[in-house]
Amino acid sequence: MTKKVLIIRLSALGDVMFTIPLANTLKDNGYEVSWLVSEKGYQILKDNPCVDKVIFAPLEKWKKCKNKIQNFREYIQIIKQLRAEKFDIAIDNQMLWKSFRFTKFCGAKRRLIAKDAREFSQLGGNEIIPAIKEGYKLHVVKTYLKYAKYLGLNTDNIKITLPPLKDDIVKKADELLSNIDNTKKTVIICPATTWKDKHWDKDNFKAVVENLKDKVNLVFTGMDKDNDLINYISNGIGINLAGKTSQEELRAVFEKGDLVISLDSGSTHLAWATQKPKIISIYCATPKSFYAPIGDETKYIALQNENCTPCHKRKCPLKGNDKNRCTLSPNPEKVLENVYKLLGF
């Protein structure tokens, strides 16, 4: 009889993508896979062949809604939906309080959670597996695959899948890039993310743009709030798509690029998941060993700051002139050296 497994990984976008190989491993070994996810990861999982069913939990909506009674009613409906599935196994890969409230009451016979889970989320499981993290030495994808290894499955094959893109999404991407010079390579720059200490120095980005402006097509992506940064580093050069793409449209844009230059961000992870462009990712406060695109080393290059050991903190613990020094390296020359290498200049 086919075993039914529930993956609980609600957010964020990057972590949802890093969990897809776990889902594929389970699916390829005969499990019927369902996934509980919130807003940021829903589009990546809807119609994705790694899952049989996607169950939606509107966490962002609940945060904004003042009607707590209505929120609770919706939560209870999700719990009823989960329990009706009669899962054999639930895997809490979020390992936080936000997932505890689903894991604890989902009704699965075996509720797996790792020993190094946080925020008392272990209380939601009934089967504690050994700690899955090894500091930040082991890549996050391999960390999450330890749940499959615990179940006795082979985890050597790291398989990333995405749902098919609809024709109108591809058409929109074509329109957004209609002004590019098809005789040149296209470099997509994603200079912003959510943490300040993940941001590479804007003058470094500016130097890279200045060097590449006549050699390649330059495309900049981000959110509306990133426009000031993009205007600074681009000086009006290239195509600015900040705030102009949905998640699916951004994915379609990435699939048309030759190279993505980015940070430790959802954009990097989305570009990696497409398996199409080459990627140079720059790591400041966070470790490349844990988050960098995994796979072909001739296609993916991750550069770590040389000024400071990655602390993985949202707020820099250093003071004075040393504050945020990790954001200053690598220097632009190092990045350009690798751009030329990947593009064959």
For the cut 80, the answer to whether the pLDDT of residue 1 exceeds it is no
How large is the average pLDDT for residues 267-284?
96
* Least confident residue range of 166-170, 196-200, 219-223: 196-200
Identify the band that residue 125 occupies on the pLDDT scale cut at 50, 70 and 90: very high
Identify the band that residue 29 occupies on the pLDDT scale cut at 50, 70 and 90: very high
How far apart are alpha carbons 290 and 304 in whole angstroms?
11
Nearest 5 degrees, angle CA 4-CA 6-CA 10?
A: 165
69: number of Cβ within 10 Å: 7
Residues in the chain: 345
pLDDT for the residue 306 = 87
User: Quick check: is 336 in a domain?
Assistant: yes
Work out the mean pLDDT of the chain and round it to a whole number.
Answer: 95
304 shares a domain with 209? yes
143 shares a domain with 195? no
- Is residue 267 within 8 Å of residue 247, measured between CB atoms? no
For the cut 90, the answer to whether the pLDDT of residue 188 exceeds it is yes
Identify the band that residue 127 occupies on the pLDDT scale cut at 50, 70 and 90: very high
Residues in Cβ contact with 315 at an 8 Å cutoff, skipping those fewer than 6 apart? 197
40 shares a domain with 176? no
221 shares a domain with 179? yes
- What does pTM read for this prediction? 0.93
CATH at residue 181: 3.40.50.2000
What are 90-112's pLDDT values in tens digits?
Answer: 999 999 999 999 999 999 999 99
Q: Residue 49 sits in which domain range?
A: 4-150
311 shares a domain with 233? yes
237 shares a domain with 145? no
DSSP for residue 165? P
What are 307-316's pLDDT values in tens digits?
Answer: 888 999 888 9
113 shares a domain with 8? yes
User: Quick check: is 275 in a domain?
Assistant: yes
199 shares a domain with 261? yes
- 103, 125, 150 - which closes a domain: 150
185 shares a domain with 302? yes
pLDDT for the residue 277 = 97
98 shares a domain with 193? no
For the cut 90, the answer to whether the pLDDT of residue 159 exceeds it is yes
What are 289-330's pLDDT values in tens digits?
Answer: 999 999 988 999 999 998 888 999 888 989 888 898 999 999
What are 38-56's pLDDT values in tens digits?
Answer: 998 999 999 999 999 999 9
How far apart are alpha carbons 250 and 253 in whole angstroms?
5
CA–CA distances in Å: residue 139 to residues 134, 135, 236, 260, 292: 9, 10, 37, 20, 8
Number of domains observed in the structure of the chain: 2
Q: What is the distance, to the nearest Å, from the Cα of residue 161 to the centroid of all Cα atoms in its chain?
A: 13
What are 210-267's pLDDT values in tens digits?
Answer: 999 999 999 999 999 999 999 999 999 999 999 999 999 999 999 999 999 999 999 9
User: Quick check: is 128 in a domain?
Assistant: yes
DSSP for residue 225? G
User: Quick check: is 17 in a domain?
Assistant: yes
145 shares a domain with 180? no
118: number of Cβ within 10 Å: 11
For the cut 90, the answer to whether the pLDDT of residue 196 exceeds it is no
171 shares a domain with 146? no
CA–CA distances in Å: residue 195 to residues 5, 138, 327: 33, 22, 11
User: Quick check: is 158 in a domain?
Assistant: no
Q: Percentage of residues in the chain with pLDDT exceeding 70?
A: 100
pLDDT for the residue 155 = 97
User: Quick check: is 161 in a domain?
Assistant: no
- 99, 115, 150 - which closes a domain: 150
Starting at the earlier edge strand, list the strands of the sheet with 278-283.
239-240, 217-220, 186-189, 259-262, 278-283, 300-304
